[in-house]
Amino acid sequence: MKKDVGTRYTKEESNALRSALAGRQLVIKEQKLPVIVMVEGWSASGKGSAISSTIRLMDPRFFKVYNMDKITEEEWRRPFLYRYAVRMPGQGQVAFFDGSYLDEAVKDHLAGLTDKKEYENTLASIRDFERSMTDNGYLIIKVFLNVDRKTQKKRLKTLQESKNTAWRVVDEDLWQNEEYDLFARTYETAREATETPDCPWHVIEVSNEKDVEGDLLSIITHAIDSRLAEIAEKGRDRKLVKNPFALKKIKPLAKMKLEDKTIPEEEYRKELERLQKKLSKLHYKLYRKKIPMIIAYEGWDAAGKGGNIKRVVSALDCRGYEVFPIASPSVEEKSRHFLWRFYNRLPKTGHIAIFDRTWYGRVMVERLEGYCTENDWQRAYNEINEFERDLTDWGAILVKFWVQIDKDTQLERFTERQNTPEKQWKITDEDWRNREKWDLYENAINEMLQKTNTEFAPWTILESNDKHYARIKALKVIIDAIEAKLDEKK
């Protein structure tokens, strides 16, 4: 029952709309629908008070409101979408963003923090992010509160005049009013660039607060209903997006030679020491130049990931890296987009994050054990490529290792672990069960390697029948990647 501009809602109408929304909370919980409501718009357009009155009858245990205006230093040192991604709600929850990434992208650009190309990339990655979120079951409701120049000026003045609210008016707000036309044009093109059928923009013309909350309430309720109707009708499967990224050919595992990939003990010791010294120096340069780095390890059980990682980190300053062993997701993690727990573990600029198993679990174990639907893992290749593109666009060095051994070598190592008391904790029945599915996994891995071997985030195979060989190769690849990035920056 959205009304025309300027028409007022009666107190009764607003209350009816409020309790209607409160009722939807139960439906959302039942349907496990996670909802994000982004209230964007001009400063002093009444975003906050619109949200406040919208939630008045909602159950506060099942929604959160985030004021996204202020960016902390920790957030500045993460990718653009980080602070929004880490706040995504779980199933059945609602997150309100008071101000969001459209506003941030526009302000960054007009303030000269991003050039035209960076700005367009940001808008593109926002579009992809929203599609990926929607495909993973999220409802994103985007509202823009539009206020004309005169009204905004008047409102800012009113705010400044009361000592209870004066602190809320910052220079940026005044600047926005001075440059009103420029902002108006930019907001409009930004909305167009992020307009999609699944995540359309709802522009509310602000004439007085009543209209805002009334319209906001009916927009949210309507969006929830139509999404649930759509799911009921078409189910949760989503259309697959054709992969838009250039892919480099990569050999299937079976074709990878392992026998000749060895290194003599003596040479190994020498090389290890030399390369670790070198990496250690480079680590300080990364730190000083504030370049973030992400090293992703995937590989067969007992392929030697742990030992490989150990040789890398022992060359690093312990204050500049973190290692994340990735096990099965927690309840909170299961109830969100599968990339959420990795957004949560992204390094700060100048730091290194090492993942022992990664987001590729989606197209391996989750695929083969049926922890997600076929449609989910089919989509995941592209969702992962977009995620990695955002990381490299951010300026991160991204190294992806597949640690490869053959089936016999795995058997040897399993047996050895079984028979060595202090290694037994490393081997579980699950490892044996997975081993029985070797061929299924090999198929999935080949498909994964091929479909995610992008120009910006290519795979490196670490031939690890000889662990020493794999460790030396890993160090070399990491060193080369860092040096390449440092050259770029020169």
Footprint of a copy of itself (CB under 8 A): 23, 26, 29-30, 48, 51-52, 55-57, 59-61, 64-65, 67, 72-74, 96, 98, 164-165, 167, 281, 284-285, 288, 306, 309-310, 313-314, 317-319, 322-323, 325, 330-332, 354, 356, 422, 425
Q: How near is the Cβ of 21 to a copy of itself at its closest, in Å? A: 13
Smallest separation, CB 26 to a copy of itself (Å): 6
Output 123 or 212, the one with its CB closest to a copy of itself.
212
Calpha distance 9→20 (Å, rounded)? 15
The answer to whether the CB of 474 falls within 8 A of the CB of 481 is no
Query: Shortest approach of a copy of itself to residue 164 CB, angstroms?
Result: 5
Query: Which is closer to a copy of itself, CB of 9 or CB of 96?
Result: 96
SS3 371: coil
Answer whether 104's CB lies under 8 Å from 122's CB.
no
Beta bridge partners of 355: 296, 324
Q: Comparing C-alpha atoms, which of 119, 130, 127, 151 is closest to residue 42?
A: 151
Residue 479, helix vs strand vs coil: helix
Residue whose CB is less far from a copy of itself, 3 or 334: 334
- Residue (246 or 318) nearer to a copy of itself, CB: 318
Nearer to a copy of itself, 60 or 197 (CB): 60
Rounded to a whole number of angstroms, the minimum distance from the CB of residue 445 to a copy of itself is 22
DSSP classification of residue 1? -
H or E element in which residue 202 lies: strand 201-205
Element (H, E) at 398: strand 397-404
- List strand residue ranges (DSSP E) for 26-153, in order: 35-41, 63-67, 94-98, 139-146
Query: Closest by alpha carbon to 447, among 386, 390, 384?
Result: 384
User: Minimum CB separation from a copy of itself for residue 329, in Å?
Assistant: 11
CB closer to a copy of itself out of 332 and 480? 332
Contact indicator for 189, 120 with CB cutoff of 8 Å: no
Q: Give the nearer residue to a copy of itself in terms of CB position, either 66 or 180.
A: 66
Q: How far is the CB of 379 from a copy of itself (least distance, A)?
A: 28
**Measured from the CB of residue 165, what is the shortest distance to a copy of itself in angstroms?**
8
Distance between CA 128 and CA 141 in Å, rounded? 15
